Structure 1
């Protein structure tokens, strides 16, 4: 130790020693920073960082040595052998490269220490090779113990420096490791210099391949400082870039962990590079080591636990092949009762990124939407769309000789139920009807609700027409059975139209059209029954469609005219009113009676326009009659429900100037069937205007007496069916006697319709009937004949 201290104090220039120490510190800082960069890098980049670190470390050791040798003055001139000097630099770099490679490539502390020890040996190899390059007129001897101590200093401090640098990449560990590496180099050098013993020998000459110490020292120091400075700047810039990358990594990690999707990245070999927690939780792989493992190994492990079905190797091979060929694939897998959509997206340079999305709820919602789009929301039966599809499938499945039947069903008077009891009761009734239909048809038959109160059935696999007839009969019976809904007992019928394949059609549209035509015939024949399609039905339907087209055109061409039939006072015989009756002057078919077009107008809604026309015309014509002659206008149930009814009456009266008390509006019992507050409100509004209200066809409905109690009518019109049988049936006479008596009691005028002979008129007079109307007095005539009808006391017409 004394020898080392003596060497430092008496044989070295301390200014140059300080310079060498500064160069050594700079080189050590660069070496440690590059070492940490190399450990943080993977792949080919790591080798580049190790090589740069070895070059910087070797040059730093080499430069420190020769600057310190410049500070060494043992007495006597010397020079350095160039080949051996170069060899010392090569040794410093190569041995340091080996040590750094071992320390960088391993995470085990032992191998990091071994790598650091090899770096320390590289310091010793460089130093003693550099000393061998020294040529001077003296023999060099070494103190063995001091030499060993110098080598140990380099090994121990260098190993400790790399061990600390590898523990954590932060400033404190970097500074500590830099200091220790500097100590390793400096302690080794000056301890080794203390082991030198020089014996002067003038016979030793300096070879020609040598360079003076000063020149070599300044050149190598300058070059080394430049290399070390560049490396240090590169390391600092890299550290700054790594810091920015680290911040970006934090942002990326935060984004990955807050994704609603799972994400996993694989390299070209199928090894897991990174993944987020959502991926691990979604696939329940939180208890499996994932990073760095091949996906196939993870799948095999799950397969062993019974958590993966299928061939893991085949599945993995397909994923790798798709990624290598640049194919994006999408799969839906079932994991633990959940449906997960997996999208595998290839990456440039190999590998792929897989995203995992739990679509269980989405699939359930899609299934619900699909079901809603193809099923009736109220009854859950197939709707028109699905029915059409199943009918097509049934036609395709029907074998030669088999028969397919389409039954179209329509509930009879369902609208009356809806209006009288309300839509909730109507909906409940439709649900119950749907349930009964489904329970009645065969296992392979289809029941659908096409809309409103219209249902349909497809019967498949029956070879005889009698099977369809039998089913239709059962359906009529089942649907017609009483219903008990919310304490209401409801009885409703059903009409059914049937078409058969192949004779009535071989495509869904044709079969449905023909079944609908048969349904129309069933309803026309009295409802509550079924009818099969017949060829003539299509012709009748065509005629009906033509009539509808003519009816619409007639409104535009003003082909309608109002006729009037007188109503006479039974006691005095004078005309007290005229009933307005609509006639159609068809350009080809002549005068058409209302019975042939009014039902069609009601079905199509054209009755509202026709009713307004009659109301306006009647008010205008009546304004020119005597003040004691009124006009009666019939209101269709459809027209009565129009929101513009009150406005139409008001406008007709205002435009014509007719006194409201001279207008009489006739309604049938079907208008009152619903018995709603809106109906009564409308009636009271009309009464408040001064308009009189008459109940037409009295006695043909179900609840006439209750109607009289719910609203104070001005007149009751006795239906012609009772009048026509006055002389032949005693019960008709009894009914008329009861109605006229009721009218007298309530102060209501009674009018008998359909009076055709004197005998009927005499009986009506005897029973106290107030007014009479019929062919006995006059058939309906144009407005131009009103004056003539007023003048004649009793104009007769053939019955």
Structure 2
């Protein structure tokens, strides 16, 4: 070491030593910068960067050596062999290129260090080749130990320089790597110069192909300027590349930081190459150093912290295998109560890109949409779609010893409540019914709302008696029929139930529902508020009803309907004052069909509207031709009041027939007023406005008849036949008739008693002051052709 220091302090010109160090530093800085560029690129671009880096590094080593040799004073005139000097430059560039190729061939530190050591060997090869080019009258004697030390210094510091450079591309690591590479070159040169001992020999001299120190100074200056030029060019290229790279990095970072998705990129070994903060946040990996780490190590760390379930080795091996196979994989994981969809997309050359999307809200929306599509919005019960699915599932699970029943439910009188009190009350009532139905069944059963006031139940009973279905139906009737307290109203409804059983009545949903519907219809026919099981004959009755409906639709076109008339007599004068128009159906094949059989069917199917219009027009036409100006009464169905053209139909009938409006009397029932009080009263006032009389039929049978008399000034009230029939035998019936007739007198309203069949009834009505009477005592309903006879002949004393 003392020999090296002595050589450096006494045999060198310090000014040129500093210059050599400056050139070395500049060349090292550019070489490290170009090494970073080469490492960040691939293919042909990497080869270009390696070539430029080798040229700059080799020239820097060569210039450093010969500038330092100019600073060396050997004590005699010296020259330099041109060929060997040139060869030293070739050695420097070539070996540096080999070292760079080795260092960039792998990411392993041992390979990088080997590449750096080769570069250090290149420094040594250049130096000792350059020293062999020295020509002076003296022998050079080398100190082997110092020579070995110089080679070790160069290789060691060069290896360290590349290891520091690959750790991170930032100013701190770049300056440190530049300093280490400079130290590698300078320490080797001056240590090697310390190994030199000159032994004078006048016989030695130049061979004629040598170059003088002056010429060498010029060449070195040229080489230095070339180095500076290359350095400047490389610096400009590097600056431009760094600027473009920085812009791309800024754009990439901005895009990554503003993504709603998490993103990470992995190499073929599962090492994290790139990720954004959203990824770390979503996967619970904030506060963990992820860059450059193996995914396997990260997952093992998380498992140790209790943040990962499963086997990290198995998971990572599976992901890498899928990526190598080129398969795109989608999976859903749960993190911190959130659902995250992960998509692994393989990359060319190995590795994969993983995207992470929080789908918690999306899943909730999808579940809500699915729930809404399969459940009733009002009651949250399964709707028809889900009910059918669950029925199919129950049918698949049923065994020979099991019992499955389908119960179709229809609420009785719900429509009247919904129309009179409004939809909010009706909706609240449906929700309460749904709650009560839920209390009637077990967890094995299903309650559904099929629409409107229709509900259904699937009862699944394992190894139980058939009577269990009847017990359930009875319990439902009792539970639903109990009074309700809704919005200050006490409401009472009933329920009718039709029941079909599997497999006796069917083995598929459609068949079971159809037969339960038939049984439901039978329960309604039998008085409502009860349940009926399906029976074989029900299908035949339903078929007959469908045929009757088809005939009913065609009856108007075939002209099968007739209008019959029953007289209404003035009690005091005992004369006919009006006729009630009653429709009759004279079927071409089946003969006369009772109104009891076809009027309810016409109301259910809506055919009552065209049929009622026809009766109205025909009655007006008939009445206009009568010899006396008596009135004609026409019944209006509640269904007709839903028709917006009702007023226009009445006007058209009067206009077409020429019948004065005061001779037309329209009879309505309380159920008409239950529909929509304000709208109904508006129509009634409009009809009254152009002279038509309005009569309230079946008075006394409803619970709010008196309130109707106060809400609308009726021209007539008709006492229901149920009171008249027991007039002579029951005091309460007599009291009701007396009250109604007294009410009529007080309000100035005509009272008409229906169903008068005996002289005793007629005499009592006369005594109580009843205004009018009609019934079999006077005449049965008869065709229009008999009206004139009924007008002129006295009443017949017939007892029904």
Q: TM tier, shorter chain? A: 0.7 to 0.9
Other structure's SS at 2:722 match: helix
**Aligned-residue offset at 1:592:** 2.5
**Aligned-residue offset at 1:398:** 2.1
**Contact kept? 1:100, 1:116, Cα under 8 Å:** no
Q: 1:612 aligned to 2:613?
A: yes
1:11 is matched with none
**Contact kept? 1:575, 1:629, Cα under 8 Å:** yes
Q: Deviations over 1:247-295 (max 9, x none)?
A: 1221111111111111121111111111111111112111222122222
Deviates more, 1:626-635 or 1:742-751: 626-635
- In 2, the alpha carbon distance for the partners of 1:105 and 1:386 equals 61
The change in CA–CA distance for 1:296 and 1:81 in structure 2 (over 3 A counts) is: same
The change in CA–CA distance for 1:4 and 1:444 in structure 2 (over 3 A counts) is: closer
**Contact kept? 1:382, 1:449, Cα under 8 Å:** yes
**Contact kept? 1:419, 1:674, Cα under 8 Å:** yes
- In 1, the alpha carbon distance for the partners of 2:404 and 2:170 equals 82
The change in CA–CA distance for 1:655 and 1:196 in structure 2 (over 3 A counts) is: farther
**Aligned-residue offset at 1:655:** 4.0
2:705 is matched with 704
Q: Deviations over 1:157-181 (max 9, x none)?
A: x99999999997679x99x979x97
**Contact kept? 2:99, 2:116, Cα under 8 Å:** no
- In 1, the alpha carbon distance for the partners of 2:356 and 2:316 equals 16
- In 2, the alpha carbon distance for the partners of 1:325 and 1:96 equals 36
1:12 is matched with none
2:526 is matched with 525
- Give the root-mean-square deviation of aligned CA atoms: 4.9
- In 2, the alpha carbon distance for the partners of 1:28 and 1:400 equals 91
**Contact kept? 2:409, 2:498, Cα under 8 Å:** yes
**Contact kept? 1:57, 1:93, Cα under 8 Å:** no
Other structure's SS at 1:287 match: coil
**Contact kept? 1:272, 1:294, Cα under 8 Å:** yes
**Aligned-residue offset at 1:797:** 8.0
**Contact kept? 1:30, 1:235, Cα under 8 Å:** yes
- In 2, the alpha carbon distance for the partners of 1:205 and 1:230 equals 33
**Contact kept? 2:50, 2:100, Cα under 8 Å:** no
The change in CA–CA distance for 1:95 and 1:312 in structure 2 (over 3 A counts) is: closer
**Aligned-residue offset at 1:537:** 0.6
1:249-398 pair list within 5 angstroms:
249-398=249-398
Q: Deviations over 1:488-547 (max 9, x none)?
A: 322222222222222222222212211221111111111122211111011001111121
1:765 is matched with 766
2:600 is matched with 599
The change in CA–CA distance for 1:79 and 1:495 in structure 2 (over 3 A counts) is: closer
- In 1, the alpha carbon distance for the partners of 2:202 and 2:288 equals 74
Deviates more, 1:612-621 or 1:489-498: 612-621
Other structure's SS at 1:405 match: strand
1:96-107 pair list within 5 angstroms:
none
**Contact kept? 1:379, 1:434, Cα under 8 Å:** yes
**Aligned-residue offset at 1:668:** 0.8
- In 2, the alpha carbon distance for the partners of 1:440 and 1:410 equals 16
1:740 is matched with 741
**Contact kept? 2:408, 2:456, Cα under 8 Å:** yes
**Contact kept? 2:727, 2:733, Cα under 8 Å:** yes
- In 2, the alpha carbon distance for the partners of 1:305 and 1:5 equals 64
**Aligned-residue offset at 1:75:** 12
**Contact kept? 1:750, 1:769, Cα under 8 Å:** yes
Other structure's SS at 2:665 match: strand
1:475 is matched with 476
**Contact kept? 1:32, 1:165, Cα under 8 Å:** yes
**Contact kept? 1:23, 1:225, Cα under 8 Å:** no
- In 2, the alpha carbon distance for the partners of 1:767 and 1:277 equals 96
The change in CA–CA distance for 1:121 and 1:756 in structure 2 (over 3 A counts) is: closer
- In 1, the alpha carbon distance for the partners of 2:77 and 2:483 equals 134
Q: Deviations over 1:125-181 (max 9, x none)?
A: 646633532558x5588999xx99xx99x99xx99999999997679x99x979x97
1:14 is matched with none
**Contact kept? 1:632, 1:665, Cα under 8 Å:** yes
**Contact kept? 1:59, 1:93, Cα under 8 Å:** no
Other structure's SS at 1:496 match: strand
1:465 is matched with 466
2:53 is matched with 53
**Contact kept? 1:404, 1:462, Cα under 8 Å:** no
**Aligned-residue offset at 1:457:** 2.0
- In 2, the alpha carbon distance for the partners of 1:143 and 1:506 equals 108
Deviates more, 1:686-695 or 1:649-658: 649-658
- In 1, the alpha carbon distance for the partners of 2:64 and 2:312 equals 59
5+ residue gaps, structure 2: 1-8
Q: 1:248 aligned to 2:248?
A: yes
- In 1, the alpha carbon distance for the partners of 2:65 and 2:502 equals 108
**Contact kept? 1:698, 1:719, Cα under 8 Å:** yes
The change in CA–CA distance for 1:139 and 1:548 in structure 2 (over 3 A counts) is: same
- In 1, the alpha carbon distance for the partners of 2:218 and 2:797 equals 149
**Aligned-residue offset at 1:470:** 2.0
**Contact kept? 1:81, 1:211, Cα under 8 Å:** yes
The change in CA–CA distance for 1:168 and 1:708 in structure 2 (over 3 A counts) is: closer
**Aligned-residue offset at 1:744:** 1.7
The change in CA–CA distance for 1:264 and 1:617 in structure 2 (over 3 A counts) is: same
1:647 is matched with 648
Q: Deviations over 1:441-476 (max 9, x none)?
A: 234222222222222222222543322222222222
Deviates more, 1:741-750 or 1:89-98: 89-98
Aligned residues: 775
The change in CA–CA distance for 1:456 and 1:22 in structure 2 (over 3 A counts) is: closer
**Contact kept? 1:323, 1:345, Cα under 8 Å:** yes
Q: Deviations over 1:192-230 (max 9, x none)?
A: 9xx9999996874627x8899999999999999889967
**Aligned-residue offset at 1:68:** 11
**Aligned-residue offset at 1:767:** 3.0
- In 2, the alpha carbon distance for the partners of 1:509 and 1:605 equals 26
Q: 1:490 aligned to 2:491?
A: yes
1:398-409 pair list within 5 angstroms:
398-409=398-409
1:539 is matched with 540
The change in CA–CA distance for 1:59 and 1:436 in structure 2 (over 3 A counts) is: same
**Aligned-residue offset at 1:94:** 2.5
